[in-house]
Structures are given as C-alpha cells and as structure tokens.
Structure 1
Amino acid sequence: MRLLTPALEARLRANLAARFEAAAQGRCEPDPPPVVRLFSPVGAATWLATEIDADGIFFGLADLGFGCPELGSFALAELEAVRLPFGLSIERDLHFTASHPLSAYAEAARQAGSILLGEQRLRRAARPHSGHG
C-alpha cells in the first residue's frame, strides 16, 4: 500500500505552507489536526502527521511503543522501507479522521504514555455524558 495518496500529500503540504506563512507574518503557528495516521500492524508504533516537506519529511507525533510519544520529524522513505514479520509493512489507517488538533493528541498521548491510549482518552472525553437527575 502506498502510504500517501496525492490528496493526502496535498493536504500535508498545505499545512506546511500555512505554518511558513504564519511565521512570515509573525502570527502564531497553526495547530492543524493530523492528516494521516500510520501504524505498525504487529506492534504499538503509531505516527500522526500534520505536514510533509519536499524531502518527504513528516512533522507530527511519533510513538514507537516505548511509552515516550513525542512531537518531531520522521521520514516517509524510512517508514516505507520498514519490513515487518510475515511480509507486513507500515500501513495507513484508511478510516482515520482527526477530531482534534495535533496538540490535543500530543497532550493526551503524553499523559497516557502512548498515542493509542491517548486516542482512547480523547474518544471517551468526546462522548456525550448521560446525566441523571
């Protein structure tokens, strides 16, 4: 599977352009929602990306499954080159739709110790609570 479609790549590049434009104008950097979620089908490694540059370097939230999710850069080529057991490779979550800005995912992941657990916390927090009288 290709990790990026042309449409996803265009959205990632648009976020990069928006960040550069904000910096050039002295405005606060935008805090967009992640565009793409990549993951290892045989482990806890997960990546949420908001932008990509001309060299194929993503910016986003990376979690290799060791309890230390962090914001930073990671390379598309390196993720595409990963070969996992059983002939598997890094995959793109085809059903991922971000519901929060990247900062919310980063904070939840830091508190929970992983992107996966952080996403669960965000989903629970977003559910309507039934109030009893």
Structure 2
Amino acid sequence: MKLITKELEKRFAEVGDQSQSSNPLIIAKFFNPCGSQTWYATEFYKENEICFGYSTGVGFDEWGSFSINELQEVKLLLPGLKIERDRFFKEIRFKELIKEQDLEI
C-alpha cells in the first residue's frame, strides 16, 4: 500500500502549514497492524517525504516529525505485513481526536 497518494499530497498542500494552530486538522492516519503504534499526520513535506504530526504507542505520545520512507521500510514480525494507512480515516481536529480516542496529551 502506498502511504502517501497523489490525493493526500494535494490535500496536505491545500491545508498547508498548521504549526501555529492549537487545534490542527489531522489529515492522515498510519498504523502498525501488529502493534500499538499510530501516527496522525497534520503536514507533509514532499521534498523530503517527512510528515509532522502526533504519534502514539511509541514509548510515549508526542508531536514530532516522521519519515514516510522509514515507515514504508519497517519490517514487522508477521511476514507480508507493513505499516498501513487507514484508508477509512476521516479528517478530524486534534482536540476531537483526543476525546474520541481517549488519548493522553
């Protein structure tokens, strides 16, 4: 599965920089189907394939950058499984997401 599609690239470009927002729009969700790791992307920088967003299940929850190329290269314990993009994820504001998912901030 391709983690960043042309449609997602376009949407990230439309939304643009959200670094000054206290309640950014989460545009895409990536997850480990074998574990608890989840990455919620608010921004994508095509030139270096880097997203900015909120990650959970990776030691502790935090805002930061993550590499799409590195996510695509992760080797999971079960053969054939890789980090996936939630194709059914609907855009949501961060504050609504934390209430809905009962996340810690």
Q: TM-score, normalising length from structure 1?
A: 0.65
Deviations 1:54-88 (A, max 9, x none): 2111000012343x110010011100111112221
Question: How many aligned residue pairs are there?
Answer: 100
User: Which one has the bigger strand percentage?
Assistant: 2
Q: How far did residue 90 of structure 1 move?
A: 0.1
State whether residues 14 and 51 of structure 1, in contact with CA within 8 Å, keep that contact through their aligned partners in structure 2: no
User: Runs of 5+ in structure 1 lacking a partner?
Assistant: 21-28, 109-117, 123-133
Match of 2:15 in 1: 15
Q: Does 1:97 align with 2:90?
A: yes
State whether residues 62 and 71 of structure 1, in contact with CA within 8 Å, keep that contact through their aligned partners in structure 2: yes
State whether residues 55 and 61 of structure 2, in contact with CA within 8 Å, keep that contact through their aligned partners in structure 1: yes
Greater CA drift, 53-62 or 41-50: 53-62
Q: Does 1:62 align with 2:55?
A: yes
CA RMSD of the aligned region, Å?
A: 2.3
The 2-side partners of 1:121 and 1:64 are apart by 13
1:37 to 19, 25, 29: 29
Q: Does 1:121 align with 2:102?
A: yes
1:74 to 66, 84, 95: 66
Q: How far did residue 105 of structure 1 move?
A: 5.9
Match of 1:129 in 2: none
User: Runs of 5+ in structure 2 lacking a partner?
Assistant: none
In terms of Rg, which structure is larger?
A: 1
Letter in 2 for 1:96: F
Question: Structure 1 stretches (4+) deviating beyond 2 angstroms?
Answer: 13-16, 29-32, 118-122
Deviations 1:89-111 (A, max 9, x none): 00011111133x23x168x3xxx
Q: How far did residue 15 of structure 1 move?
A: 2.8
Q: Percent identity among equivalent residues? A: 35
